[in-house]
Structure 1
Amino acid sequence: MTASAATVQPTYGNWRQPRRPGLGSLGLLGTFVAFGGIVATLIASLISLVAALSILVPVAVSLLPLMIRTQDGRNVYQIVALRVAWLRRKRKKATLYVSGPLSPRPGGKFRPPGLLTRVTLVEGRDAYDRPFGVVHHRVNNTYTVVLGCEPDGGSLVDPEQNDQWVAAWGQWLSRLSHEPDLRGASVTVETAPDPGMRLALETLPRIVPDAPATARAVLQEVVETYPSASSEMYTYVSLTYGAQAGQKRSSEEVITDLAVRIPGLLAGLVEAGGGSAMALSAERVAEAVRVAYDPASSSAILNARAEHGRTGLEWDDAGPTAAVETVGAYHHDSAVSRTWMLSLAPRGTVRSNVLHGLLDPAAGTCRKRVTLLYRPIDPATSARIVEADRRTAQFMASSGKGLVRARAASAVAAAEQTATEEAAGAGLVEFSLMVTVTMDSEEQLPDANVLVRNLQANARLSLRPADRMQAAAFCCTLPVGILPWEYVLVPGALREAL
C-alpha cells in the first residue's frame, strides 16, 4: 500500500489482481489446447476436410466455456462443477445436520458440522503461563491460534496516528511472510446488538437501598435504554500453521512452538492499533463458535461468565442442534445466515476509513461478521510474481493504443512501484473478504441483501453471495482458521491455468 504526502489525509491502494496467463480469457490450459487443436487440424486437413472438421469442432466446443467468464473470473466449467457438487450433496442429504442425544451421531454431543467436523480443540500455555486455545484441523494437519483484540477507535484520532497504525499493520502482515510454516491468517470483526447483560450486572448490584429515588430511577432507565443504542464488537485474528511436506510433528511440539511465538505476535498487533490483545483460551474459542451458531445463547453465556467467571463450554458442545443449508441461506438453531464473498477489490486509491461502514454495527441484524483472509507469499515467490507482473504490464503498454495504452501505462507505474517496494523488503500478500449477516428469520433475508448492497457500495467493493456453498462459507468467517484454499480438490496450479 502507498501513502501520498501531498494530501492531508493519506490514501492507500496499489493492490493488483494477478493476471491470468494465456491468450485472452482462455487461460494457460485453454491456450495450449487451442494451439494444439490448430496444429492437429492443419495436419488432418492434409488427409481430408472431414478429418479436419472432426478435430476442429470438438476443440472449439470445449474451448467455448473457457471463454465465457463472470465478473470474478469464473468460467462455465467452474459454474457447472459447483452446481453438480450441490446436487450431489443434496441427494446424499449432506445439506442437513442434526446433533445431540436424540440424533444418530455417536456420542450424543453437539459438535460443529461441515468443515469443522474433524476439528479438535486443545489448550496450551504461552511464555507468560497464560492459556491459549489451539484448533487442530485433522483433515490437512494444520493448527490455528486465535488472538483477541480490542482495537482503538478511529474517532478523535489524528491522521498521522492512523497512518502510523496502517504502516505498523503493513509491517505485521509483511512479517507473516517470514513466519515459518504459516499457511494463512484471517481477521474477523463481529458485531451484534448489546443485550445489556453486562451493564445490568455491573450497575444494579451497586445501587444501595437508601439511595435517592431520583438516582435509582436514572440508573434504572440507563440500564433499560442504553442497550438499544449500543452494540458489541469483537475482533479476532486467526493464524494457521501447518507442517512442511514430509515433516511429522506431534501436537505437543506444535503447541510449544506456538507458545514462544505468541508474545511477539501480540506485541505487533498492539503496535498496529490492536489495543489490548491476548490469545483466546479454548473455552473462549468454543464460546465464539457457539454464539455464531445460536445467537440466542449469547445472553446466557455472558450471564454465566459474569456470575461464575467461566462457562465451562467445550468444543463438543459448541455446534448447533440442527442446521439446514439451502441455495442462498444457512439455517442454524435460532437464526438464519447468508454469506457474501469478495469478487472485486476497490479500484484506485482509498482512504483509511473505506471499510468503516462495512465493519460498523448494522441495525436490524442479529449478528454480522466481516472476515479478511490473508495468504502470505514467501519472499522468493513474491519476487517472481512481481517481476512477471512488471514484464506483462510493460508489454501491454507497448502494444496498446489510445485509452487501452493509457490504462496500461498506469498499470506499468503501479507494477514498478510494487517492484520497488518488494525490493525494499515489503511483503506480498493475497487477500480476500467475506461477509456473513445473521438474521432472526428467513423473512428478513431480503433486508440483509439490501444492507450488504448498500455497504459494499460505500466500501467500493463488489460482493457476490456464496450460493450453493453457504455452509462452508459460514465456517470460513468463523475465527477458527478455516482457509478456503486448503479445502479444494483441484490443485492451485491447475486452477490458475483455467
Structure 2
Amino acid sequence: MTSESMSVPTYGNWRRPRKAGLGSLGLVGTLGLFGALVLVLLTSLLSLNAAVVVGIPFAVTLAPLAVRTQDGRNLYHLVGVRLGWVRRRSSGQHLYVSGPLSARPGGRFRPPGLLSRVVMLEGRDPYDRPFGILHHRNRNLYTVVIGCEPDGGSLVDPDQVDTWVAMWGNWLSRLAHEPGLRGASVVVETAPDPGTRLATEVQAHLSPHAPLAARAVMEEVVASYPDASSEMNTYITLTYAAPGGTRSDKGEVLIDLGMRLQGLLRGLVAAGGGWAEPLSAERIAEVIRIAYDPAAASEVVSVRAQHGRTGLEWSDAGPAAAVETVTSYQHDSGVSRSWLLTLAPRGVVQSGILRSLLGPSPSIRRKRVALIYRPLDPATSARLVEADRRNAHFMANSTRGMVRARATAEVQAAEQTAAEEASGAGLVEFSMAVTLTVDSIAEIADANVTMRNLLGATRIAMRPADRLQAAAFTCSLPTGILPWEQSMLPSELKEAL
C-alpha cells in the first residue's frame, strides 16, 4: 500500500476576518482615537490643563474598546449583556407562563421569547406535499424547515466522503445566489431512543399464532433495544426575506418558496443528505413541542405511529412555564444549558472532527448542535476578501519576530482565500450553538463536564451563553432565528466596533 493511497483529505482555511483599525480598537475606536488626538492637540495650544480635561473623557470612552475577550467582544458588549439581563429580570421577562390559567390572551401554549411573534403558514410544493413556513412578523422573514436523514460515515471510502464535502460546499455557495436568502442553519438533534416506534411496529406485525419462543425473542428485543440505541434527527432551515418587501402577499411567498425547494433538495441529496423533504406545519410544531417538553417525546411518537398524525398546532407548541437564569433555561420537563462558538479549530481538520459532538450522549436527555450560516453575495465576498488580504499584508510588513511569522501565515491564508474566491468559490460566515437538555437543575453540573469532554476532541472553543440562555436555546431550534437579525445595532456598526 503506497503512502498516496493512505492519505486522508483534510479541510480548513477558515479564519476570522481582520477588522480595520489600530490593534483591537476597530474602525470606530480608531476614528475616535484620531479625532481625540486632533482635538487634544488643538486644545493644548491654548492650555495644557484644558487638554488634559478634554483628553480624559476620550480615554475613558475608548479604553473599553481596546480590551477584548478571546471571541472579540469588548467591554461595552459585556456590560450590555449584563445590563440587558438586569433589565429583563427586573421587569419579569425571564419568567413565562402560558395556557388557559395564564394572563396571556387566547389561553394557548405559544412559544415564548424570540418565537412569540412567529406565526405558522402552510403551502404546497409542486408534488402537492404540504410544507410549513414560519413567518417572523417582526422582521418580515419566512423560514422553511427541511428534514433529512444523512448517509452515515461508517464503512465509507475517503473519496466518497471528500465528494460529499465538496458537494456540501457547492450547496452552501449556491445559497449566496438565492434571491432574498438571509441565512441558513443545520440542526442535528440526538436523544435516547424511547423505543416507541419499534414497539408499535413489532406489535402491529406480531402474529397471535407465532411460537412462544419467537414471541419471547421479539418482546426481549423491544424491551432491550432502546437501552443501547439513540435517535438522531437532522433539520435544515432556510430563512428568506419577503420577495415583495413588506407589502408582499403571503400566497405569493408560499408559491415562490415552493418552487425553489426542489433544486435545493436535489443538492442536499448529492451532498450526502439522503432522504430530504420539507416538514409540514404539524411536524414543525411537534419538533418544537418536544424540545420544550422532552418527556412528551414518547407520547408524540406513539400518537403519530397509531393515528398517522398528532393534530398539534404551532399555537400549542410552547411550554406551560419557563424560567431563565444566568446559567440555565428551565422549561416544562427539561433544563437546558447552551454554549456559543468562540473559535474554530486552528489549522486543518479531518472530516470526522465533529463526530464526538454530534454523537449521542447517554447522560443527556436531548442534545442539539446548530451550525448557523450567513452566505455572502459575490460582491460582498470580493470586497471582504480583498480587504482581509490588504490587512494581512499590512500586519506582515509592520511586525517582526514571532509575531511576523504568524502574520506571514495569515498572509498565505488570505492569499489562498482570495484565489479560491476569484475562481468562483463562495464565502460564508458561520457560527455554532450547542444546547444540552437534562431532567433537573441538579444535573447541570454533569452537563458541563460532558460538554467539556466533547469539546476536547473537536479542538473547538465555546463559551456558555450566560445571561442569554433563553435566546441561545431558541437559536439552536430549527426555527430560522438568525442572531444578526435580532440585534438592535446594524451588523455593519457592530463589525466596526
Alignment partner of 1:346 is 2:345 = yes
1:413-492 pair list within 5 angstroms: 413-492=412-491
What residue in structure 1 maps to residue 256 of structure 2? 257
Residue aligning to 1:91: 90
Per-residue CA deviation, residues 36-62 of structure 1 (Å, 9 max, x unaligned), is 111111111111121011011111111
Encode CA deviations 1:87-126: one digit per residue, 9 max, x unaligned: 1111110000000000000110000000010111111000
CA contact (8 A) 2:20 2:391 kept: no
**1:383 aligned partner, one-letter code:** A
AA partner of residue 319 (structure 2): P
Unaligned runs of 5+ in 2: none
TM-score using structure 2 length: 0.98
Q: Does structure 1 retain, via aligned residues, the 8 Å contact 2:243–2:253?
A: no
Give the Cα–Cα distance (whole angstroms) in 2 for the partners of residues 6 and 492 of structure 1: 46
Mapping 1:63-78, distance limit 5 Å: 63-78=62-77
Partner in structure 1 of residue 279 of structure 2: 280
Matches of 2:244 and 2:27 in 1, distance apart?
27
Letter of the structure 2 residue corresponding to residue 39 of structure 1:
V
Alignment correspondent of 2:201: 202
Whole-angstrom CA distance in 1 between matches of 2:388 and 2:430: 17
Name the stretch that deviates more: 16-25 or 205-214. Answer: 205-214
Residue aligned with 1:170, SS: helix
Indicate the SS of the match to 2:373.
strand
**Helix, strand or coil for the counterpart of 1:186?**
strand
Give, in whole Å, the separation in 2 of the partners of 1:349 and 1:454.
Answer: 21
1:161 maps onto 2:163 in alignment: no
SS in 2 for 1:41: helix
The aligned runs of 1:189-268 (5 Å cut-off) are 189-243=188-242, 248-268=247-267
When the two structures are superposed, what TM-score results if normalisation uses the length of structure 1?
A: 0.97
Indicate conservation of the 8 Å contact 2:140/2:246, yes or no. Answer: no
Report how far residue 6 of structure 1 moved. Answer: 9.1
Partners of 1:245 and 1:86 lie apart in 2 by 36
Please tell me whether the aligned partners of residues 142 and 242 of structure 2 are also in contact (alpha carbons under 8 angstroms).
no
Deviations 1:255-279 (A, max 9, x none): 1001101111110000000001011
Give the C-alpha shift of residue 400 in structure 1: 2.2
Mapping for residues 47-196 of structure 1, pairs under 5 Å: 47-196=46-195
* Distance change (3 Å), C-alpha of 1:87 and 1:216: same
Provide the rounded CA distance (Å) in 2 between the counterparts of 1:142 and 1:16: 29
Pick closer, same or farther for the CA change 1:353–1:398 going to 2, 3 Å. same
Q: Considering only aligned residues, what root-mean-square deviation do their CA atoms show, in Å?
A: 1.4
Deviations 1:172-211 (A, max 9, x none): 0000000000000000000000001011111123222332
Change (3 A) 1:6 1:177: farther
- Corresponding position of 2:26: 27
Distance (Å, rounded) in 2 between the aligned partners of 1:442 and 1:400:
50
Is residue 380 of structure 1 aligned with residue 379 of structure 2? yes
- Partner Cα distance (2:386, 2:205) in 1: 65
Tell me the distance in 1 between the aligned counterparts of 2:35 and 2:284.
Answer: 53
- Partners of 1:7 and 1:21 in 2: how far apart? 43
CA–CA separation in structure 2 for the residues paired with 1:246 and 1:373: 24
Provide the C-alpha distance between the structure 2 equivalents of 1:245 and 1:312, rounded to a whole number of angstroms: 32
- The total of aligned residue pairs comes to 495
Counterpart for residue 38 of structure 1: 37
Q: Distance in 2 between matches of 1:396 and 1:32?
A: 19
The aligned residue for residue 407 of structure 1 is 406
1:11 and 1:39 mapped to 2: Cα distance?
50
2:368 alignment partner, SS class: strand
**After alignment, is 40-49 or 210-219 more displaced?**
210-219
Structure 1 residues 245 and 220: CA distance shift in structure 2, 3 A: closer
Please give the alpha-carbon distance, in whole angstroms, between the structure 2 residues aligned to 1:244 and 1:310. Answer: 32
Measured in 2, the distance between the counterparts of 1:351 and 1:372 equals 17
Q: Which amino acid aligns with 1:364?
A: S
Q: Counterparts of 1:286 and 1:192 in 2: how far apart (Å)? A: 18
Q: Secondary structure, in 3 states, of the residue corresponding to 2:323?
A: strand
**Distance in 2 between residues matched to 1:22 and 1:391, nearest whole Å:** 12
Identity in percent? 63
Query: How far apart, in 2, do the equivalents of 1:150 and 1:87 lie?
Result: 42
Shift, 1:456, TM fit: 1.3
SS in 1 for 2:326: coil
Distance 2:306 2:171 in 1: 37
Farther off after superposition, 198-207 or 348-357: 198-207
What secondary structure is seen at the aligned counterpart in 2 of 1:277? strand
Cα distance in 2 for residues equivalent to 1:23 and 1:412:
18
- The residue type equivalent to 1:479 in the other structure is P
